Structure 1
């Protein structure tokens, strides 16, 4: 799997899961599902067994240490 560290979506982010799953505090997104986050949202995410997603960003995410 993989871990996406703490980050903020500076503007709208849209993600469509093609394969595997993506998990964060809001739940699990599986193949065929779509999720979006408004600008200013902050979270961490992980994929227990890996995943392939199609994501659209208006601006790059801001990552925190």
Structure 2
């Protein structure tokens, strides 16, 4: 994947909770299918998106051996938390329980040797 191309980790109106939230809303992702992204070996399960506020939360599954070249998420703060397996970027490997917060437009690579499941949160600034 060229470095100027952002992986397509966008929610396309399927699954998850859409729009503003009042009170408590619940969603069981266990019945949802993993949706493919443009990045081979990267899959998502949308949990929440409020496009007006620029917020989205998803589960991301990374197949063993999958990787993407350096890229950015234009204007989005990225937070990720490793739930299963391990996940790496250009600086380090994150294991279960590890957290990373990435500034908007920060260039980074991504991948997994053994496979991983992460919670990923994007906030548009």
Same fold (TM over 0.5): yes
Structure 1 or 2: larger strand share? 1
Aligned alpha-carbon RMSD (Å)? 1.2
Q: Which residue of 2 aligns with 1:43?
A: 108
**Relative contact order: is structure 1 or structure 2 higher (C-alpha 8 Å, sep ≥ 6)?**
1
Tell me, in whole angstroms, the C-alpha distance in 1 between the residues paired with 2:70 and 2:90.
12
Contact 1:22/1:30, CA 8 A, preserved across alignment:
yes
Gaps of 5+ in 1: 60-65
Question: How many residue pairs align between the two structures?
Answer: 59
Asked if residue 4 in structure 1 is aligned to residue 68 in structure 2, the reply is yes
Contact 1:14/1:57, CA 8 A, preserved across alignment:
yes
Q: TM-score, normalised by structure 2?
A: 0.44
Within-5 A mapping of 1:1-65: 1=64, 2-10=66-74, 11-59=76-124
Tell me, in whole angstroms, the C-alpha distance in 2 between the residues paired with 1:16 and 1:37.
12
